[in-house]
Structure 1
Amino acid sequence: MATESHLNENDSVHPLSRVANSKIASVLDQLPTLDDVLHRQSQPPVCLYNYYIVLRDRLELEILLDFWLDVAQANILYKRYVKYANKRASTKFSSPKLPKPSIPSNILDCHQRQSNNSNSHDVLTHMLLLHPRASLATTLYSTTTNGSQPKRPPPTQTEMAEAVERIYLRYIVPSAEKEIIQLPASIKESIGHHFYDSEKKDPSLYTGHPDNPIIYAQAKEYVHQLLESTFPLFLRYKVFMNLTLPQQIGRLACGLVLLLVGFSLEFSLIFLNIHPWQKRLWGILPIILGVFCVITSIAGIDPVWVLGFNLSETVPFQFNHIVHRRVRVILRRRSIMVSAIILFTTLVFMIFFCTVAGKRL
């Protein structure tokens, strides 16, 4: 019993807290969890949009998040379908049939055509699982910031079945568009058996509910565990860093070039014994920029962006404001520390190159 209670306590702790000391653990416990991010209950930069960007650009696992979100959306649609079907059934049995008012046939036909066109347009526009898209996750950030959305029509039985089947064709079947290769074969086979058994049924005798996305429950849980394994890396990239990987690589390359130029200029002034010594300060300028680029690249954080503009980079040269209070505090502390390292390193190089005696070769 003691062991079980201990395991339960560990399960409730933040993923990174298991490998950190008590002080760091207390900080991490104040950060959003994976479920907070998936249900859009967190603030930038630890938000669903940035999580998708990290999975896509750094880990190349964005398909896992796409699948989880598609299944979650299918579950929501199924609940709406069942609710609407139950409401319609109760209304059918409780409400007396009223005589229909007489309407001219030409007006009625026109009205029906407009209604059919409107319903078709709404379904194609608003049902996320029933039209082609690159990824559901890429639209989440914009849809969550635009306020209320127009009311969507409830899905029909055919649309619900198509939505469930589309997930199967997109993620589960071999060589699919976004096949999840991490899923065990047993889970894929159990899902495939559902569609195989459904095809053997006689459609004329089938009177039950449409395909229920519950068939993806096991796969969704497995994918959720895979996402949990990536979440500590996401926190590392967004809580302790504010630069993207291309930005880090670019800064490292520029920094090394600037250091090469600065060192070449300084050693040239020293071995040419150029006077006065104040001219050596010109060589310090590229060294300062080089040190800044190299250190910010290694640390993954730009102190100017954090302290001056309160920005975190999402994709190269596109930013969002650091809204989460705890993340903002952590990034500012790290920015101050990185700034101190940059100033100290620059001061060491300045003292060295300005105090070394010149000697003409």
Structure 2
Amino acid sequence: MDSRTPTPDGPRERLPNLFEVLQRRTTAPVDLYSFYIYMRDVQRSVDYLDFWLDVSQHMSLCRHYVRELRRSVLISTPELDKNGAGSKRSSQVLDNFDSNRGRTSSDQGPSQAQRQSGDERLSAFLRTDNTSNHKHSPHNSQGSELQRSEDNTPGSEVPPRPSYMNNPNSSNTSPLVNSNSSPNHTVARADIRASAEKILYTYLLPGAEREIILPQGILNDITNNIEKEGRDDPEVFDAAKGYVFQAMERDAFPGFLRAKALGNIVQPSMMLRLIVGLVALFAALWTAFVLIFLDAKRSTRCWEILPFTVGLYLLFSHQYMLDPILALAGYSEYTFMSFSRIKEPFVRKLLNRRALMCLAWVVLLDIILCCLFIFVPGRRL
């Protein structure tokens, strides 16, 4: 992911979509962190989300490389820049891409065609830059030499699982950290190559450490593009990224919204409430019948309201996946017994309405049960 934290969009009168969550335009409890925990703990398929995020980070790495390339050409050829002819290739690609992002940053997010247009321009530039042996590279360093040697190296000889986070020719700091503010954090073409290979070796190859299931045709195309054609542009992963996005949108995201936008407790908490609620309700019924058959006074039977209230409250919390008091207080459960404030306005409204409905059912059934067992005539056996 990009190191920067984007500012979420203004208040929306609807639930967010998956694109908005992945772009970090939402806040708790429907933010990216909550979705990551849901994919890890409930869906057990966090590798798919990590793959999507790593591909997005690869795109950011490529964009930063083009931005640095444009800056270096403008600095090295100021007379061309004055005449309006300098760095036409890199600057035009980057300017068009950035302007496309600015035009499509609406509340609904850009359309699929608009998002792909910027990626295609950037990928086309990187492919052209790759075939020109980095004549316009801003780095006359060992990193560029390493990349040129890798271009002549077969894919089978590439070291396993290289990491763009730890480039041997740079510091241990990620090249994406403070990439827009510090000129010391530079990105070489070798970093982009290593990033693409890392994604391939981590998620896609058979037997990979975090292998994800993709159609064989997509896997073959990616492997051929990276290992045989030497490509490392973001367009290589477009088909896999789109497939993973659609899979998460279809299989995981609806359950995430049900769990976080309509409820505020997690699965372990729900099971605990179910068990304790059943025990409390059984104890309430047992106590009520005992007091009836002992012909206890009605004033004594009034204490039955306590176990009945506890049992009904916990059972309805399990049924609604919601703790009403916690929701009205403005909190949601991230993990078991770990709470965070609800910051998404529309979700806050939904949870408040459901909490009031849940409490109304608890009070109604509590009154019915208490009246039934308090006012029924006693009979001592």
Same fold (TM over 0.5): yes
Deviation at 1:94, TM superposition (A): 5.5
Q: Which of these residues, 336, 352, 368, is aligned with residue 348 of structure 1?
A: 368
- Matching residue of 1:310: 330
TM-score normalised by structure 1 residue count? 0.72
CA displacement 1:164-183 (0-9 Å, x = unmatched): 111111110112221112x1
CA displacement 1:109-164 (0-9 Å, x = unmatched): xxxxxxxxxx9797423247xxxxxxxxxxxxxx9xxx999737122222221111
Q: Which of these residues, 321, 325, 347, is aligned with residue 345 of structure 2?
A: 325
- Matching residue of 2:269: 247
- Matching residue of 2:220: 189
- Matching residue of 2:287: 265
What amino acid is aligned across from residue 213 of structure 1 in structure 2? P
Identity across the alignment (%): 33
What amino acid is aligned across from residue 210 of structure 2 in structure 1? K
What amino acid is aligned across from residue 198 of structure 2 in structure 1? R
Q: How many residues are aligned here?
A: 282
Q: Which of these residues, 327, 350, 356, is aligned with residue 336 of structure 1?
A: 356
- Matching residue of 1:64: 48
SS of the residue 2:334 aligns to: strand
* Greater helix share, structure number: 1
Matched, 1:155 2:187: yes
Deviation at 1:89, TM superposition (A): 4.2
Q: Which of these residues, 199, 203, 218, is aligned with residue 171 of structure 1?
A: 203
Deviation at 1:234, TM superposition (A): 1.6
CA displacement 1:171-216 (0-9 Å, x = unmatched): 10112221112x11111111111233157xxxxxxxxxx7223211
Given that 2:277 and 2:314 are in contact with CA atoms closer than 8 Å, whether structure 1 keeps it comes out as yes
CA distance in 2, matches of 1:123, 1:286: 62
TM-score normalised by structure 2 residue count? 0.68
- Which is worse superposed, 147-156 or 187-196? 147-156
SS of the residue 1:124 aligns to: coil
- Matching residue of 1:104: none
- Matching residue of 2:62: 78
Aligned runs of 1:94-173 on 2, under 5 Å?
123-127=171-175, 151=182, 153-173=185-205
SS of the residue 1:125 aligns to: coil
Given that 2:201 and 2:208 are in contact with CA atoms closer than 8 Å, whether structure 1 keeps it comes out as yes
Deviation at 1:335, TM superposition (A): 0.8
Change (3 A) 1:280 1:150: farther
- Matching residue of 1:298: 319
Change (3 A) 1:276 1:121: farther
Deviation at 1:326, TM superposition (A): 1.4
Given that 2:331 and 2:342 are in contact with CA atoms closer than 8 Å, whether structure 1 keeps it comes out as yes
CA displacement 1:251-306 (0-9 Å, x = unmatched): 00110111111111111111222x32221223331121011000111101111112
- Matching residue of 1:13: none
Deviation at 1:61, TM superposition (A): 2.3
What amino acid is aligned across from residue 331 of structure 2 in structure 1? L
SS of the residue 2:380 aligns to: coil
CA distance in 2, matches of 1:149, 1:354: 71
Given that 2:64 and 2:179 are in contact with CA atoms closer than 8 Å, whether structure 1 keeps it comes out as no
What amino acid is aligned across from residue 236 of structure 1 in structure 2? R
- Which is worse superposed, 226-235 or 289-298? 226-235
Aligned runs of 1:28-39 on 2, under 5 Å?
30-39=14-23
Change (3 A) 1:357 1:122: farther
SS of the residue 2:232 aligns to: coil
What amino acid is aligned across from residue 336 of structure 1 in structure 2? L
CA displacement 1:70-114 (0-9 Å, x = unmatched): 00010110111123234334544558xxxxxxxxxxxxxxxxxxx
- Matching residue of 1:109: none
Given that 2:47 and 2:210 are in contact with CA atoms closer than 8 Å, whether structure 1 keeps it comes out as yes
- Matching residue of 1:216: 237
CA displacement 1:320-355 (0-9 Å, x = unmatched): 211121111111111111000000011111011102
CA displacement 1:217-244 (0-9 Å, x = unmatched): 1100111111211222222111111111
Change (3 A) 1:148 1:93: closer
CA distance in 1, matches of 2:222, 2:266: 38
Change (3 A) 1:172 1:120: closer
Q: Which of these residues, 308, 313, 319, is aligned with residue 287 of structure 1?
A: 308
What amino acid is aligned across from residue 78 of structure 1 in structure 2? C
Gaps of 5+ in 1: 1-27, 96-118, 129-142, 200-209
Matched, 1:359 2:359: no
- Matching residue of 2:126: none
RMSD: 2.7
CA distance in 2, matches of 1:277, 1:286: 16
Matched, 1:40 2:60: no
Given that 2:196 and 2:226 are in contact with CA atoms closer than 8 Å, whether structure 1 keeps it comes out as no
